[in-house]
Chains A and B, each alone.
Chain A
């Protein structure tokens, strides 16, 4: 089915992009912090496939997958990583702060939980104008310990704000295992205690993610109020580029790698597509990435004389 091919393409794009970023970071062309999405691709691909262009997306510092799946052009993302003015944030944001107004991608946010209140506000505007929109708000399970999580879920449920809370539970908040982070372990249950619909989803199964996102967005658009999806997933790589991973053992990582979402979808698609067709997809993606890197490399830096621009708006309405 075309749907499967689109999902696979999205996941492979993200996977290869992230792998290339790791390489570029090692050779110091990408700097600062780099948080890779490898292993979690099914979440971004599955959820984004159920959103409309007029919906809105709020993300975290682990935002490359979300941005790419949302449609932010790969060259603009790569150029941003290189700090070039052609980047989606003019090189001002870097890896953690990808923004794209034309795709209604309201940013990667570096403060854990910092995007939730903004997502609630975006949704409030839609609700006040009576628009059947969804605001997809991505955050990790670590954010569920921050005050903002509790304040915002309560507010969203109280005012019936059209937010789709996507909690990407990858078991570790940086180096802190889930069990050491949360006293009450069932996140979906906790979320539902705020008065909104919540359920757990196998985040390594892109079709399950897509289906749950479909049901949730349908409900939200119909005025059913906010929903929370707890997407159980795993990041195969470290928290960020520099992380010795002392907090988890390699056997665990290997176990989760067996659940690789890309392999699982390919297994489902074996009956629909030939190896050649799948290979062609990889080649396409490889070309796209090479192209993005070349563009980013050749692009200009923003002139230093522009340093103090964009602190206040330049166009006064």
Chain B
């Protein structure tokens, strides 16, 4: 049975035009075949004598089925008309022998809706309607609770709120939804539950006290420390390209943001310029043993908190990002450990999120330097004498002129720039 069209799977012989014993030549029409569309003449591609008719008229057979055998003229039997079976069509599976399957429940759309609302699984419901159809009464009967416990209706929670709740350890059941939908703000509004067995801590207006502490510190800084300020604008395209590469293999929640390479660069530059990494006291400058990088985090409701990244120079970009994420989250929910709040040897304040281009901050005594990082912005940029557009960031240094002078500060910024713009950063 030849293939006579792209969509032909089987055909039926209507009429044989030859019989066993007839001599045929290549190209002769030997039969008429009915496909689903019309009757078509079928030619043979061999010459010889018809031996056996294998398929009688009226029977539908698949494409590729031998229809007749042709022998050579001297009587020797040739193989049946060779037909190469078609390469199996990749997508269409052959129809399986019908096996008994459970019939899907018969129920109209209203009944289904009701079942869904009542949480009834229709496959378990016996239908008493016509032909075994499930009626609303059937659904209601099935919905009547046999036990007392009833699952509460599923709350509407936005995906972000759900994720945030998990991160902050907030029980969604405790969250009050404003308009029936729980959002991130609602999750954050939940106060942490006091530990059972411990006396409830006195309610302290944390916001006010933080503000006061910050105010005192800043005033003292400005009073005592002679600040000088330096600024540099850095081409971030190399750093961002590297980030993009890293992020390709990372799940969404661990994607690395520009803050990570920026903090790394600030830390490693501080390692190379130790005069900026340490404390000023009555004896003069005392260098820090290692770089403990303070990262200024703004608190909702105002005020600043500065968690410390302890071994900032050792962290790779992904680890740095993880650490930053963790610290910021816990900083904002007031769950930092004491050890994380002390002894920063140099601090970075990153106001890029706020959309600020450059920030000249106030040094946190007894430190001698504060690095300011602005937003990564696209700007026109000169590259090899041509005008291009590059993502750039402005990094500033506020430094204590008692401990260092401009030359040292400039060196620091130069190293930061080098670390960010050099492709093969180990």
- A199 in the interface, Cβ–Cβ < 8 Å? no
Q: Is B37 within 8 A of A28, CB to CB?
A: no
B4: chain A residues within 8 A (beta carbon): 26, 241-242
Interface range on chain B (Cβ under 8 Å from partner): 20 to 34
Q: How far is the CA of A241 from the CA of B3 in the complex (A)?
A: 9
Q: Are A28 and B84 in contact (CB under 8 A)?
A: yes
Q: Is there a chain B Cβ closer than 8 Å to A244's Cβ?
A: yes
Picked from A23, A28, A241, A246, the residue with its CB within 8 Å of the CB of B86 is A28
Assess the A27–B3 pair: CB atoms within 8 A.
yes
Confirm or deny: B203 has a beta carbon within 8 angstroms of a beta carbon on chain A.
no
Within 8 A of A (CB), among B95-115: none
The answer to whether the Cβ of B145 comes within 8 Å of any Cβ in the partner chain is: no
Q: Is the CB of A23 within 8 A of B6?
A: no
Interface string of A232-255 (1 = CB under 8 A from B): 000000000110101000000000
Whether A244 contacts B39 by the Cβ 8 Å rule is yes
The answer for the CA separation of A169 and B2 in the assembled complex, in Å, is: 30
CA distance A95 to B38 in the complex (A): 24
**B63's contact among A23, A28, A29, A241, by CB below 8 Å, is which?**
A28
Residue A32 lies at the interface, judged by CB distance under 8 Å to chain B: yes
Is B288 interfacial (CB-CB < 8 Å)?
Answer: no
**Contact status A241-B39, CB under 8 Å:** no
Within 8 A of B (CB), among A27-78: 27-29, 31-33
- Docked Cα-Cα span, A292 to B4, in Å, equals 23
Number of interface residues of A (CB under 8 A): 13
Are A242 and B6 neighbours in the complex by a CB distance under 8 Å?
A: yes
Q: How many angstroms between the C-alpha atoms of A241 and B40 in the bound complex? A: 11
Please measure, in the bound complex, the distance between the C-alpha atom of A29 and the C-alpha atom of B86, giving whole angstroms: 6
**Contact pick for A26, options B2, B39, B85, B87, CB 8 Å:** B2
Residues of B within 8 A of A26 (CB): 2-4, 45, 83
Smallest Cβ distance from B189 to chain A, in angstroms? Answer: 48
Known contacts: A32-B6, A33-B6, A242-B8. The answer to whether A27 contacts B38 by CB under 8 A is no
> For residue B7, which residue of chain A has the nearest CB?
A242
As a 0/1 sequence over residues 45 to 86 of chain B, the CB contacts with chain A under 8 angstroms (1 = contact) are: 100000000000000000110000000000000000011111
Q: How far is the CA of A53 from the CA of B84 in the complex (A)?
A: 39
Which chain A residue lies CB-closest to B85? Answer: A28
State which of A23, A25, A29, A244 has its C-beta within 8 Å of the C-beta of B37: A244
Contact of A31 among B6, B38, B45, B83 (CB under 8 A): B6
Pairs across A and B, CB under 8 Å, 12 listed = A23-B45, A26-B45, A26-B83, A27-B84, A28-B84, A31-B3, A31-B86, A32-B6, A241-B5, A242-B5, A244-B37, A244-B40
Q: Which residues of B contact A (CB under 8 A)?
A: 2-6, 8, 35, 37-40, 45, 63-64, 82-87
- Chain A residues near B (Cβ < 8 Å): 23, 25-29, 31-33, 241-242, 244, 246
Complex A-B, nearest 10 residue pairs according to Cβ-Cβ distance, in ascending order: A242-B5, A26-B2, A28-B86, A244-B38, A28-B3, A27-B84, A242-B4, A27-B83, A23-B45, A32-B6
